[in-house]
Chains A and B, each alone.
Chain A
Amino acid sequence: MLDTLTAETLARMQFAFTVSFHIIFPAFSIGLASYLAVLNAQWLRTRDRTYLQLFDYWKKIFAVAFGMGVVSGIVMSYQFGTNWSVFSDRAGPVIGPLMAYEVLSAFFLEAGFLGIMLFGRDKVGEKLHMFATAMVAFGTLLSATWILSVNSWMQTPAGYSINQAGQFVPENWWEIVFNPSFPYRLLHMVLAAYLTTALVVGGAAGWHMLRGRVTAASRKMFSMALWMVVIVAPLQIVAGDIHGLNTLEHQPAKVMAMEGHYESHPDGAPLILFGIPDPENKEIDYALEIPKLSSFILKHHWDAPMAGLDTIPDDEEPPVGIVFWSFRVMVALGFAMLGLGAWSLWRRWRGGLYDSRWLQRAAVAMGPAGFVAVLAGWVTTEVGRQPFTVYGLMRTSESLAPVEAPAVATSLLVFIVVYFFIFGAGTFYILRLMTKAPGDTGPDPTTEGPLRTSGITPAAQVDPDVVPGN
């Protein structure tokens, strides 16, 4: 067992671990930044204090999540060099400038206006505060754009040549930035971030309503979040499907692993719903499958021939088991989200959106589903492009830095301990902030903090809309 823990394996484990932790925070803060901008705009437009209450409520949660995203992101920007220096040397000329643009156009924008958004409403006035809030939201979207361009270039490289030192040299920046998989991946990820946030907001609202706190604020959250799910969940399924077709065109081996197609199917491939991949014998055991449906989904023709992993050399085959499962987890959760949206629409139509305790329970249960789906989706696309870092051109094994296994093992262990400690505490604080009802300015200093003294009037505590018991 220990013999297999080479520096490469350890470095891959470290990257997978740190990037998985990291993606959770942007997935949440991209959506939440936009939500805060909408809440603030609604407050300015309607002067309904509920929106201001909600803004202040989610603002604190955003601050904690954003802080965790920043510090785990700094780790990522240096890890390319510490653990994957050969990759950095060779791919740096292409992806480095894109990451520099991310820092220049997005990170500084977010950081520069974050302070004003969090602490500056009274200092700069409502209009500039709104502008700062919008800039933070815009910054999170720009950041996603650049980093997904980088990731997409590694999946579907374009617009480059290779020089004598083995470096990728940029030839056409338009082709590099707008590489073939980029638009699909960007759309899929931004929608995922919005869905994730909507589910968290809906879950928090549902939780408060189950506790009898059916206030104006919790109803507003519940309704806004579920509208978002209704609109975005179906869009996301369509976007995911188009993204999949793009993957089939550029990275067919990944789709074969997702589908579990070890064998080629010359006259129509089945859609394998469930089964247990057996990498030894290259087959799916106990497969539950629908004949020819995979061909229909991917080629829009029942009898279209589909190549399987038997057409891919063994040393270019991605790990099927992981990709097969993570893909199914993502898809199942996506359809569960669609179901939640449909259910809420039906309750809305029947005129009782806020009365169904089962709908509230479902919203709470689905609260974390977005995070799981995002992680599962990233596992699918990242493990599915193995064994390459730059698809088809540079192998993961060629990308490693000249570091020794004990050094990587030590830092990996320290990262694991520190991250669980730090982000465990952060998650606990976020959950505790969520358990406090919006607008409730109770005596607990840990959920309030001193800002309240300069901002909200105590009148907001008395909420006439509280329905006791229910």
Chain B
Amino acid sequence: MFDLATIWAGIIAFAVLTYVILDGFDLGVGILFPFARDENERDVMMNSVAPVWDGNETWLVMGGGGLFAVFPLAYAVVMPALYMPIILMLLALVFRGVAFEYRWRTTRWRRVWDAAFIGGSTLAAFTQGIALGALVQGIEVADRAYAGGSWDWLTPFSLLTGMALVVGYALLGATWLIMKTEGNLQSAMRRRAGPLAMGTLGLIGLVSLLTPFQDPVYFDRWFRFPAAFYSALVPVMLFVAAMYLFRGLATNGDHAPFLASLALFVVSFVGIGISFYPMMVPPALTIEQAAAPDSSLAFALVGTVVLVPMILGYTAYAYWVFRGKVDPDAGYH
């Protein structure tokens, strides 16, 4: 059970989850950018993530680079299959990434880079959701290569998962801003977080209901023993997290809504994990089949075991340095 390939599948899953929750909130801030009431609020929103967004996005490179390193076959099959959503995501990330610096360097074009930040953040979230949906639907493989067409990824189901991620990231962004800001902006975000939470939960429910119709095997995985034990826990924990979230919003908590939203994402991610295991690329490639030779897995694992704890350490330190409310006067540029 705990061979190198399985350990690596766990590490990649961890990197992807870390990416989703970290870049999730800073993409969410971008999605909520149009709702800022004035220039000052936009400055504060962007400054709340400016020192950390780059580190957050590095987990995406880790997910892609890690997949390339230890599951090259999965990487080689998935990327061409999701060609268009991936390219769109990359371009979207280009637009929103440069906006962090560019909007401070111009007054006439500030609107343009604000739009790039909003559009890029939203499109990146949407295409990531589409990619997830397309993976769940399954990817056609023949002879170690993608065997489907250019548009296979585009279905009502993948559009739904795309929507779900946009709303979910917006929830993360709103609760992050509740934690990091004060005054009008904070209360505005409190008002928005409620509907966003309802929307996120509704979409999680809808996606969960539709998942078994993508491939009946998902149904078996959820209800066979012993996975059924964990599957039963998922809805329970979702419920607990949702209660914690709504209570946090109702009692004007600063941290609780954000932590509860993170929990929603973690639990949902575990649910997706249950659906996938032991597949790497459903329905054709298992973790075992997609894995690189053991010499690659072992070599990469040594460094990972040493370096990832260090990364988590100094990343935590960077967050700690910039802890507390964003000072609306100082800014970070």
Contacts and interface: CB of A to CB of B under 8 A. Distances in A.
Interface of A: 60, 63-64, 67-68, 70-75, 77-78, 80-82, 85-86, 88-94, 96-97, 99-105, 107-109, 111-116, 118-120, 123-124, 163, 165, 167, 169-171, 173, 401-404, 406-407, 411, 414-415, 418, 422, 425-426, 429, 432-433, 445-447, 449-451, 453-454
A299 B307 CA distance: 45
Contacts of B308: 104
Contact of B145 (A167, A402, A404): A402
Given A97-B70, A429-B105, A407 B83 contact: yes
B300 A422 contact: no
Interface string B23-66: 00000000000000000000100000011101101101110111
Given A81-B78, A86-B145, A101-B300, A96 B314 contact: no
Query: Chain A CB within 10 Å — which of B73, B90, B329 has the most?
Result: B90
Contacts of A70: 54, 57, 97
Query: Chain A CB within 10 Å — which of B95, B100, B330 has the most?
Result: B330
B98 A88 contact: no
Contact of B64 (A72, A78, A86, A169): A78
A70 B330 CA distance: 26
A82 B80 contact: yes
A412 to B, nearest CB: 10
B268 to A, nearest CB: 24
B111 interface: no
Interface string B54-94: 11011011101110111011011111100110110011011
24 contacts: A67-B97, A67-B101, A70-B57, A75-B94, A77-B61, A80-B75, A81-B64, A81-B86, A88-B76, A92-B73, A92-B292, A101-B303, A105-B303, A113-B314, A115-B50, A123-B322, A171-B295, A402-B80, A403-B83, A407-B84, A418-B91, A445-B107, A446-B104, A454-B330
A168 to B, nearest CB: 9
B80 A81 contact: yes
Contacts of A449: 104-105, 331, 333
B79 A82 contact: yes
A114 B54 contact: yes
Contacts of A120: 51, 321-322
Given A85-B79, A104-B62, A451-B332, 12 more contacts: A74-B57, A78-B64, A78-B90, A81-B79, A85-B76, A88-B75, A96-B70, A100-B304, A113-B314, A118-B332, A124-B321, A446-B104
A194 to B, nearest CB: 24
Interface of B: 43, 50-52, 54-55, 57-58, 60-62, 64-66, 68-70, 72-73, 75-80, 83-84, 86-87, 90-91, 93-95, 97-98, 100-102, 104-107, 109, 144-147, 150, 292-293, 295-296, 299-300, 303-304, 307-308, 311, 314-315, 317-318, 321-322, 329-333
Closest 6 CB pairs of A and B: A92-B72, A81-B79, A450-B331, A96-B69, A115-B51, A449-B333
Contacts of A72: 94
A143 B65 CA distance: 13
Given A67-B100, A100-B304, A446-B107, A89 B66 contact: no
Query: Chain B CB within 10 Å — which of A77, A105, A108, A454 has the most?
Result: A108
Nearest to B147: A402
A422 to B, nearest CB: 6
Q: From DSSP, what is the main secondary structure of chain A's interface residues?
A: helix
A167 B293 contact: yes
A323 to B, nearest CB: 29
Given A86-B145, A103-B65, A113 B318 contact: yes
B292 A119 contact: no
A453 B52 contact: no
A64 B101 contact: yes
B107 A92 contact: no
Contacts of A407: 83-84, 150
A451 B101 contact: no
Contacts of B146: 85, 401-402
Contacts of B331: 449-451, 453
Contacts of B100: 67
A112 B55 contact: yes
Contacts of A124: 321
